[in-house]
Every structure is written in structure tokens, then in C-alpha cells.
């Protein structure tokens, strides 16, 4: 079957070149104009519910639990003191979280039910915008209101605005607070993260905002304002890893830390500061069984990060991309307290999302054993992809999409690939000269559309060797996503699920079958918009075959959220 076909399409490594060209041809022929998708970005409503969804087909009872999702919602705030406040970049849409409860039948032959609820949870940010008519807190890319005077902008540098966390959800966060007595739920709060050190706390049952926390509540040394939206979790211990970036001092300081699931304590694994590690925007990082692998990408902030305070947004504070500025990596021991054990570089580039990393014990020709580490990410040659997510481009307002393609050639410069870099951990401490000359080798590159974005794998294989990655994919039929890909990193082959025209899927979440022994023995859960009907459904695919097992249909559009997490029934 052809790449663009509806249904399940299998592709091999031999198809890569023609499929790349097919994707480019779809962009150049403006196929995206025929793919309705605006309902996932505009006119979005809360559904505090619970709303019973209509299940068609079958969703396995062993997938029971709650699928939490979060992401941007409203693209504007009405009735402010200055009229309607329009949000310019999708990543700054008003935070909107969702809960799909997958409820098994009480009888063996009964059908699994799905119950849905959602809530906006950036009430403080919305109230601030309504009062001021503009947003004073730091955003990802909100363009400044031209009517805001210089004095107001200067004063905003010293103001602490309300957070709008809308990237990732973390159930059962080590060190996190319990929901207080008297509130609707008991147990751990649900935390919502973005690329800052401020955490939003939600009641996991109602999704109601119940507080704001800082990483200093985890450890007093984590006092920097910047962190990583994507923490990493050890699948065996439940420990959570992240970094904190402090901008003060002669050089910015990165602190790599672990929050221990056993008792909630926090350990600082490494403190990194120096001219080789400037303040930079990083959205994710890696863990292996023994290491945290940390990459300062070619996304350096101007003025050592202080320009964020002036611009009031992240994107405009990043220096123009420079292809001569390499990515600098540090390998941090997470088992024996050794701190940084290796440093190396890779060519200039950028990635939002790490896929996975793992170690391999290998022997050289002399019979000596060495540890190689491999890091897989969805990589870009530059930072143009960050500029693709303005609402004007996503919704083709005033022909903005066509202009981005023709004038800026974004359909070519935003091409991505799954890249694997491999590096050998030195047996002895590196000298300054060895650090400066150490480079990792790119040993694997799988291009889109044989792989997409928002990657997910079997959760038990985080930090370990793996074979399959599942992604939200684009064949060039839609500005954002038109399919879901299962990519085999061993064979470079891909199996692609594509729905009818206008069916846009979100991030696929892998739920393993209990007791399953095969890596792809499980299901994928993805929220899909039917752009023609402007209604969404929760899609359940067999992760092995990519065939549809069932769906739970809503009578309304659900926002195209960013990331989610499945919490099994026994852990609720």
C-alpha cells in the first residue's frame, strides 16, 4: 500500500527515500489544506463530567486505570481589560488537563467502559490576563503586546506571574505532597510540569488546581527557575530524575538530582558549571541503568539566560542557531556517587524528545571490556521546528502556513530523524584535552515519516536496550499529525496506522499487557480528532499489529494535548 493510504501500511528501510519525497510532495502540493484540524486548537470547552463515552469495539479490561493527559487548551482569553487577549504560540495555550477512566466490567463477558472529564487549571494565569490585559509571567513564545509600555515591561521583570504548566503529567511523584484531608481525593497529588522549576499540583480525581510548588520544596539547593519538562523515571525503583538550572553567578549552574520513591528524599547527583555548559533550552534528557546522560544543546540563551527576563519568553531569548556550536554532553553516575564520569560533544542540533538510552558491555580487540552508551532522540538539524507551532501556522491564518513553507522552507528545514549517538565510557578519568576532543558517533538515523514525534516505548525498558518506538507521525497530509508509526530500530522498518482524512492522532501511550513477555505485547491509547465532525475519540490499537481494537467516542472536540501518563487500576 502507498504511504498515504488509509489503514495499516508497512514500510521497509528500502522505502525511506521515496517516502521522504512523498512527504515533501504532500507539503508542496498543500495537502494539509484538505485536512480539517482546527477543532483541536480553537473553541475548546471544559467537560468536568464525568462524561460516559460511547465504546465501539473492545478495549481490554487489563488496560483498566486512568489515562491522564495535559496540554494547551484555549488559544485566547476573552473579556480582559484590553479586550480579547490572543495567544500567539500553541505551547502557551491555557493549560487543560484530562482524565480518561477505563473501567472494566464487573462480569467476564461485559464491555469495558470509558469515563472522561477535563478541566482548565491555570486559573491564576487567566485571572492575571483578564486584569492586566496581557501576560506578565514568562511564557514559551508569547509575543509581547505592542501596547504595553516600556515601564510596564521593566516592572514585569521583577514580578512573579502565575504559571501555565501544560506539558507533562506526573502521577505519584516522589517527594510530592499528599492530597490534603477534606479535599475530594486521597493519595498523591497529580503534578503538571513545564520547562520551569514551578510545579502545578492537581487533585487527581477532579483535576482541580490545589497548589503551586517549587523544586526547592524537594531540596533547598534546587533554587534555579528553570528545569526540564520531561523527568525520567527508573522503571524498577520508581525514582525520578531531573535537573535544575540556576542562572546566577559567573556561570549558570546545573544540578542533576534524583527524587527517591522509597522515602521522598532528594539526592544531588552532580553540580555542573563552567564555560562549556552555558544556559540553554533543553526539553528532555536520558537515563541508562547506571547513568544520567545530560545534553546542553545548541540552544543557548543570550545574556547567560537573563534575556528570558527581558523578553518574558523562552523562544526569543534563545540565540540565533549557529551550526558551529556543538552540543555538550555529560555522563553522570547515578549509582555510586561519582558525579560526572565522562564528557563529550556531538554536532550542532536540537531535539525536544529523547526516546531512550542504554548501555552495552563490549570487548575491544585486546579483550578488554568497555561500556558503550547509546542515546536515541528525535533530532533536528536546527531550531526552526520551534517556530512551526505558532497558531497562525497551525491554523493557516492569512496563508501563514504557505508562507512558512515557501518563504522559509520550513517543510525542509524541520525534517526530523531518530538519531542514535554512541559513546564509550573511558576507563580512566578524562584529561581536559581528552574532554575537548571526545565526540560521540552517530550510528543510526531513521528519517520521518518512518518515525514521528512524541515518542513512547514499553515503560519497563526505559534505560535498557529496546526495539520498538511509537510516535505521532506526519506524512505531510496535516500540519501537525496524520498517523501513528511503530518503528523497529533493529530493521528500520515501520508500520503506520492512518485513519480517514481529517483524523489527527495525539501522542500514543503504551500500556503493557500484564504478564506479557514480548516488547510489543500491549495496546496504544491515543486521543484522535475527527476534524470533519469536530469530535474526538480515544483510540485503542493493538501495539503488535497496529490494528484498531476499539474506541471511546466523545460528542465534542478534545484539545490536542502534548503528553500523558497511564496509571494502572491497582495504583489509583
Over residues 426-440, the pLDDT tens digits come to: 989 999 999 999 999
* This prediction's pTM: 0.95
pLDDT at site 309: 85
Strands 240-246 and 232-233 come out as antiparallel
Question: Environment class of residue 523 by beta-carbon count within 10 Å: exposed (0-12), middle (13-18) or buried (19+)?
Answer: buried
pLDDT at site 186: 54
563 is in an annotated binding site: yes
Spatial separation of the C-alpha atoms in residues 428 and 342, rounded to whole Å: 9
Instruction: Tell me the three cell numbers of residue 191.
Output: 503534578
230 is in an annotated binding site: yes
Adjacent-strand bridge partners of 244: 227, 255
458 is in an annotated binding site: no
Task: Evaluate the CA torsion angle 129, 133, 137, 140 in order and state its sign.
Answer: positive
pLDDT at site 154: 41
Tell me the mean pLDDT per 10 residues along the chain, length 572: 91 97 95 94 92 96 96 94 94 97 77 95 91 87 61 41 90 80 64 95 95 93 96 96 92 97 96 96 98 97 90 94 97 97 98 98 86 98 97 94 91 96 95 96 98 98 98 96 98 97 98 96 98 98 98 96 90 48
- CA distance readout (Å), 439 to 238, 346, 446: 32, 6, 21
pLDDT at site 184: 52
Over residues 7-39, the pLDDT tens digits come to: 999 999 999 999 999 999 999 999 999 999 999
pLDDT at site 386: 97
Length of the chain: 572
Spatial separation of the C-alpha atoms in residues 180 and 188, rounded to whole Å: 9
Spatial separation of the C-alpha atoms in residues 148 and 150, rounded to whole Å: 7
Query: Beta-strand (E) ranges in 155-220?
Result: 168-170, 190-193, 198-202, 209-214
Spatial separation of the C-alpha atoms in residues 121 and 125, rounded to whole Å: 9
Measure CA 141 to chain center: 16
Spatial separation of the C-alpha atoms in residues 338 and 353, rounded to whole Å: 27
DSSP 520: T
pLDDT at site 109: 58
Query: Which residues contact residue 19 at a Cβ distance below 8 angstroms, ignoring those fewer than 6 apart?
Result: 3, 11, 449, 450, 475
Amino acid at each position: 500500500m502507498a504511504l498515504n493510504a488509509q489503514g495499516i501500511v508497512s514500510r521497509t528501510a528500502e522505502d525511506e527515500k521515496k517516502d521522504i519525497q512523498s512527504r515533501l510532495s504532500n507539503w508542496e502540493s498543500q495537502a494539509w489544506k484538505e485536512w480539517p484540524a482546527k477543532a483541536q486548537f480553537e473553541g475548546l470547552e471544559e467537560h468536568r463530567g464525568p462524561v460516559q463515552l460511547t465504546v465501539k469495539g473492545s478495549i481490554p479490561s487489563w488496560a483498566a486505570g486512568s489515562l491522564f493527559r495535559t496540554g494547551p487548551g484555549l488559544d485566547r482569553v476573552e473579556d480582559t481589560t484590553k479586550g480579547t487577549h490572543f495567544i500567539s504560540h500553541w505551547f502557551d495555550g491555557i493549560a487543560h488537563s484530562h482524565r480518561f477512566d477505563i473501567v472494566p466490567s464487573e462480569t467476564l463477558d461485559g464491555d469495558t467502559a470509558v469515563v472522561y472529564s477535563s478541566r482548565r487549571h491555570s486559573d491564576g494565569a487567566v485571572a492575571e490576563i483578564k486584569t492586566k490585559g496581557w501576560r506578565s509571567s514568562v511564557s514559551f513564545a508569547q509575543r509581547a503586546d505592542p501596547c504595553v509600555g516600556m515601564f510596564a515591561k521593566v516592572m514585569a521583570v521583577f514580578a512573579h506571574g502565575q504559571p501555565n504548566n501544560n506539558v507533562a503529567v506526573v502521577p505519584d511523584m516522589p517527594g510530592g505532597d499528599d492530597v490534603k484531608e477534606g479535599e475530594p481525593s486521597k493519595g498523591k497529588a497529580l503534578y503538571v510540569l513545564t520547562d520551569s522549576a514551578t510545579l502545578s499540583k492537581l487533585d487527581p480525581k477532579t483535576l482541580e488546581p490545589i497548589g503551586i510548588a517549587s523544586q526547592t520544596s524537594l531540596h533547598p539547593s534546587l533554587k534555579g527557575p528553570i528545569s526540564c519538562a520531561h523527568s525520567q523515571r527508573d522503571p524498577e525503583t520508581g525514582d525520578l530524575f531531573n535537573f535544575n538550572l540556576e542562572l546566577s553567578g559567573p556561570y549558570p549552574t546545573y544540578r542533576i538530582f534524583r527524587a527517591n520513591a522509597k522515602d521522598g528524599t532528594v539526592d544531588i547527583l552532580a553540580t555542573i558549571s563552567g564555560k562549556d555548559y552555558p544556559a540553554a533550552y533543553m526539553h528532555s534528557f536520558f537515563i541508562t541503568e547506571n547513568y544520567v546522560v545530560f545534553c546542553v544543546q545548541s540552544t543557548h540563551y543570550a545574556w547567560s539566560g537573563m534575556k528570558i527576563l527581558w523578553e518574558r519568553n523562552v523562544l526569543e531569548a534563545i540565540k540565533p542557531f549557529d551550526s558551529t556550536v556543538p552540543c555538550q554532553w555529560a555522563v553522570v553516575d547515578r549509582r555510586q556517587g561519582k558525579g560526572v564520569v565522562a564528557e563529550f560533544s556531538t554536532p550542532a542540533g536540537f531535539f525536544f524528545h529523547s526516546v531512550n538510552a542504554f548501555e552495552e558491555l563490549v570487548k575491544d580487540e585486546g579483550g578488554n571490556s568497555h561500556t558503550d552508551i547509546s542515546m536515541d532522540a528525535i533530532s533536528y538539524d536546527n531550531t526552526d521546528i520551534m517556530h512551526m507551532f505558532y497558531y497562525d501556522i497551525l491554523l493557516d491564518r492569512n496563508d501563514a502556513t504557505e508562507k512558512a513553507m515557501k518563504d522559509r522552507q520550513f517543510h525542509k528545514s524541520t525534517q526530523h530523524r531518530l538519531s542514535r549517538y554512541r559513546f564509550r565510557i573511558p576507563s580512566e578519568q578524562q584529561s581536559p584535552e581528552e574532554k575537548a576532543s571526545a565526540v560521540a558517533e552517530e550510528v543510526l538515523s531513521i528519517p520521518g515519516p518512518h518515525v514521528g514525534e512524541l515518542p513512547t516505548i514499553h515503560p519497563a525498558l526505559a534505560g535498557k536496550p529496546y526495539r520498538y518506538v511509537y510516535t505521532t507521525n506526519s506524512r505531510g497530509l496535516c500540519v501537525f499529525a496524520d498517523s501513528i508509526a511503530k518503528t523497529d530500530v533493529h530493521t528500520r522498518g515501520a508500520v503506520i496506522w492512518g485513519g480517514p482524512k481529517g483524523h489527527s492522532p495525539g501522542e500514543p501511550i503504551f500500556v503493557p499487557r500484564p504478564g506479557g513477555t514480548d516488547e510489543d505485547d500491549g495496546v496504544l491509547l491515543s486521543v484522535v480528532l475527527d476534524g470533519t465532525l469536530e469530535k474526538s475519540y480515544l483510540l485503542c490499537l493493538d501495539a503488535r499489529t497496529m490494528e484498531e481494537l476499539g474506541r471511546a467516542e466523545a460528542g465534542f472536540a478534545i484539545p490536542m494535548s502534548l503528553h500523558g501518563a497511564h496509571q494502572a487500576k491497582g495504583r489509583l
